Structure 1
């Protein structure tokens, strides 16, 4: 099926309404994973079963004024705040939103923004502007973006599409730096005008090649006058680089060179063209960028007729949304010469943003699954530990511990993720079974908590899973984790250790298919998601941990089972579908969301969550992204009074002829009288 035919076909909106996304987002972002048979058919226990109502509910404290939610509408885009000091908001008086004393970025939380509002909303005293947008030229030989005159060659020299993971890395001077951004996937319905002749194979291939150039990563130099001032990007910056579906990557680790990753084009199994589905990521202590290859499976036509294939692609696919399989043989895994090509994707990618001539790498030692990202912390013994989530319903949480220790040699540190041990998490609740009734009553210890174990999949670089070779563990990691009894989770996405405390925070976006609820919890699945706080009990590289639920998300006005670390629920900002997390200099947690419009009726946003003292659990909304957009990133430079986010798929539900968002240009004209179109962008928010 061509990309045009795929876009025009009927989309199952009703089924997706039960989840968190627009149907078109599911189609292009994850190949309708939630509509397919579940990949994980193992008998492993789910998190709900082990914690048994670890989602047990605190008794309702009273809705009060939370039922009268203020809706943010109107205003001058990027300048007029929707709530301010002393203004009414969620829970009533603005005084309920007093900023935490341990934060260095003062703001008055905004009211939630109705999902039909096409606006980027920031607090009083702040303003916003894009740093860079889809199509902006990175090099002087690139044309000015014209949505009606796109070519693969132009896109390879321009900023990519659908921004996701983001970091802003200032140089020592603070006046220059580098911006790094992932580009997860493409949506033809709002990128191009309808194809005049759907049977025109040459035009389909041209558009498909634009997709190849629009994905991957962008590395862009930035500059500003002084610290705290907004950044501008630099055309022809010496570090500027585009990484695309055609960029050559080196495979590292034990699975490199194995028969499982060899193809006709790469009989050595050591060199891969391109990276796909780049979602979240992380920045290492030695300054490199880690990018997670997430929904790679939808880019391949493959048979799914073996247990290994089914665990990564639950059903057979004769064609792809991109159409690449019709003219590029490596995306047709039905061809025996390329049956292993999907095995070359689904890894953590490492890129050096300081060296535009360096070859990026894929680390097989860190396992293969739908990586949301990876975030690294240095353990007590000097080894480095990376935490990773597998973003699929009922899949697992992992961590990687390096063999070698971090050193003063950046060159040696570049090899730290090539060797080490891979673990998967098993959770257990600690309350008597009789106290976990699913009725909404807290167990006697007053917490949703327990303990856990990191089960090894490899030790000393070798498989410890019976019946699996080392290469099989690292290429078919999901099956190895099934075999050792890992705990099924509700779509583990971003996992990050706090640089202040070492505690680990896991965003579980949702799982609308989850059941086993009773009358006191009448929700047909975890639509709103939750956040878990984990404490390593034997050191960061150890194999035991404690855990508790920090947030059970939702709109308290309608979801009585929501929980916010014990903070009064009638005083928090509604939050749904936590996706990415970050920290400020004081150790506060920041959470970005992906799915609030479909679940609680508000645009997605960025939220502050204090982790200590009386304000612990006090969720406060900092910004809201435009209609149908997802909040990605985020980056918190609170000492400068700045916050950065990537705005992904604004106006996703519209069409080229009838856009539902005009972010970020809104009323500004475009070259050649081109129609206005939404453009995924990196945005900076700063004090006005």
Structure 2
């Protein structure tokens, strides 16, 4: 039987052909870019020749240990339970202790930022590390969780999340933390912080404990983030739905809001022991999470601030760049299948002479959602109350409502549903912006997630990276412009076997990647991509580097491979590129893993210790720049 409806495969081929037109193909071929799928086994017959990256590739595999490129070292710097605050208690893995955990390095380390001390902006040997802690995996943390009351155990899991700030230094050829440093700080799920911006003080953020709607206890689910030009850290609250229990309201003002944020799919049982996590008791408490938190690592006494002008959703990224006009621009991803990419533009301009005034830039500005067109254009659609569909007739009564319900506002405006937009980063050399779409197996199956130009593959298991092109020239990009161009940079998967993979023709059997997640750049403008999901292929997740222009454009090469059960997060270079920090998250966390029988005991390999998430430090043996 024939039909006039194209198949998802036909859609994919037609879309890719349209996006990679003959003109674009000729331009790209001149730069050495592959625009066609590999024939099976083609990658195995080739070797890298065009890349500016000269390191030896790590092989694909799956082991209990990590691997780094030959000629490099890569060792743990700080791991879960290590001291952060002066006088911290030593880690006791026998039983949970929330007071001890609030002084120790947290679990589930994700985003990493290296911040030279103020007054020493170019230092690459001493500074502060700010690290996000996304989750706590109780089954791998303590041998006797039942030895304490459930409330104590729940609080220990809560305090294991948030952020850690540690001072680090390189002395005698090796890095270490500075014990007893006055900068050492833990920010947890119980740390007081204030709300600012248009939603602060709104009735939908008020609870029985805070009727003002302006003061929140804690942050959790902290995934990726970013740094500001004035030296603070932006931490994104992501999977907040995992933390709340109780019945999801089926009627009332929060019913649709909570549904869109995935409430009801809880992972933790905190609601049974901590009343504020029970949505039946406190229906507004979830609205106080899902924001971007600003933390000043240089001031241990500064109160963290949740910046509501940046919108509420499952934040993966908060990448900042200064526009040619001097205004601050923040790129933000909503990490869930079928969700959108956002951009915030401040009203005022960045002032590095009076740093204390810059915080206001994150309270006064315009948040927009991206709409990707099939002709390669991109429009930024402002989420402004009273404009277009964002009006009272549709349930919005103020800008606070728009920001609390960003997902609904974006859908009404026509933002493009994407394949899990995770990290977003701007190239410091070219000013182009790169967004990682990790995967989406619902693509082409769900009526609200059809195959389209920006999401060209049905059942997208391997993800892709999109390149955003603001108008202007390198050094003077107009990131605040209402219209951009965009291109597909790479389509993940094994080009020797996966249908639809698109990569450079010199990509080796060890250089292809799947499920791109966190991104960073070195000072030369080369893109480094961390993955999260290659374990489903029987391979370890890794860190890959590639050029973004020239003959080696999109030629990915594997530099580091994580131990089994782990993903790689938060890659971050020192200013001189001689040190690379990266986070290994949830090592050993595989299907049947328990404290007694994890799939690896990395990094300690001690029978008395479980696997511990850790921040690693990688360097070249000869002391040269990495890459």
TM-score by length of 1: 0.79
Paired residue for 1:508, among 432, 437, 445?
437
Q: Residue 128 of structure 1: CA displacement?
A: 1.3
CA positional deviation for 1:651 = 0.3
Counterpart residue number, 1:13: none
Q: CA deviation at 1:602?
A: 1.2
Aligned residue among 585, 597, 602 for 1:663: 602
Q: CA separation in 1, counterparts of 2:460 and 2:611? A: 31
- Deviation, structure 1 residue 92: 5.1
Displacement after TM superposition at 1:242 (Å): 0.2
The alignment of Structure 1 onto Structure 2 pairs a total of residues equal to 573
Q: 1:527-676 to 2 correspondence within 5 Å?
A: 527-537=461-471, 539-564=478-503, 566-569=504-507, 573-598=511-536, 600-637=537-574, 639-653=576-590, 654-666=593-605, 669=606, 675-676=608-609
Cα distance per residue 1:291-326 (max 9 Å; x no partner): 000001121124142475445435986794322212
Q: Which residue of structure 2 lines up, in the alignment, with residue 426 of structure 1?
A: 371
Deviation at 1:524, TM superposition (A): 5.8
Cα 1:52–1:191 change in 2 (3 A) is: farther
Which residue is 2:127 aligned to?
177
Which residue of structure 1 lines up, in the alignment, with residue 402 of structure 2? 473
Query: Which of 47, 52, 60 is the matching residue for 1:112?
Result: 60
Alignment equivalent of 2:93, drawn from 143, 147, 166: 147
Distance 1:481 1:51 in 2: 28
Q: Distance in 1 between matches of 2:429 and 2:272?
A: 50
Task: Establish whether residue 53 from structure 1 lines up as the match of residue 15 from structure 2.
Answer: yes
> Quick one: distance in 2 between partners of 1:682 and 1:327?
32
* Secondary structure, counterpart of 1:656 in structure 2: coil
Mapped to 2, the partners of 1:255 and 1:464 lie a distance apart of 19
Structure 1, unpaired ranges of 5+: 1-45, 67-90, 431-449
CA distance in 2, matches of 1:607, 1:318: 36
Shift of 1:428: 0.8
SS of structure 1 residue aligned to 2:99? helix
User: 2-side partners of 1:426 and 1:158: how far apart?
Assistant: 43
Deviations 1:137-188 (A, max 9, x none): 1234222222114411111111000100001223325442111100001111
User: Is the contact made by 1:51 and 1:429 (CA closer than 8 Å) also made in structure 2?
Assistant: no
- Alpha-carbon contact 1:51-1:428 (below 8 Å) kept: no
Distance across 2 between alignment mates of 1:344 and 1:195 = 29
Distance 1:174 1:126 in 2: 18
What CA distance in whole angstroms lies between the structure 1 residues aligned with 2:301 and 2:307?
19
Cα distance in 2, alignment partners of residues 241 and 255 from structure 1:
28
Give 2:155's match in structure 1, choosing from 204, 209, 214: 209
| 209-218 or 634-643: bigger deviation | 634-643
Note if contact 1:304-1:314 (Cα within 8 Å) is conserved in structure 2.
no
Residues 59 and 510, structure 2, Cα contact 8 Å, conserved in 1? no
Given the two structures, how large is their TM-score scaled by the length of structure 2?
A: 0.86
Segment of structure 1 superposing worse, 493-502 or 55-64: 55-64
**Cα distance, 1:340–1:555 mapped onto 2, change above 3 Å:** same
**Match for residue 683 of structure 1?**
616
CA separation in 1, counterparts of 2:67 and 2:436?
24
- State yes or no: 1:100 paired with 2:37: no
Matches within 5 A, 1:140-539: 140-171=86-117, 172=120, 173-193=123-143, 195=145, 203-225=149-171, 229-301=173-245, 302-306=247-251, 308-313=254-259, 320-335=266-281, 338-407=282-351, 408-430=353-375, 450-458=376-384, 465-467=390-392, 468=396, 469-515=398-444, 525-537=459-471, 539=478
TM-superposed CA distance for 1:634, in Å, is 0.6
- CA, structure 1 residues 149+324, in 2 after alignment: closer, same or farther (shift >3 Å)? closer
Using the alignment, how far apart are the partners of 2:566 and 2:331 within structure 1?
27
Q: Is the 8 A contact 1:463 1:470 kept in 2?
A: no
Q: In structure 2, what is the Cα distance between the partners aligned to 1:579 and 1:320?
A: 23
Cα separation, 2, equivalents of 1:497 and 1:465: 30
In the alignment, is residue 62 of structure 1 matched against residue 62 of structure 2? no
RMSD value, Cα: 2.7
SS at match of 1:313: helix
Distance 1:523 1:493, change over 3 A: closer
| Distance in 2, Cα, partners of 1:363 & 1:589 | 28
Q: Does the 8 Å contact 2:41/2:497 carry over to 1?
A: no
Contact 1:138/1:157 (CA < 8 Å) preserved in 2? Answer: yes
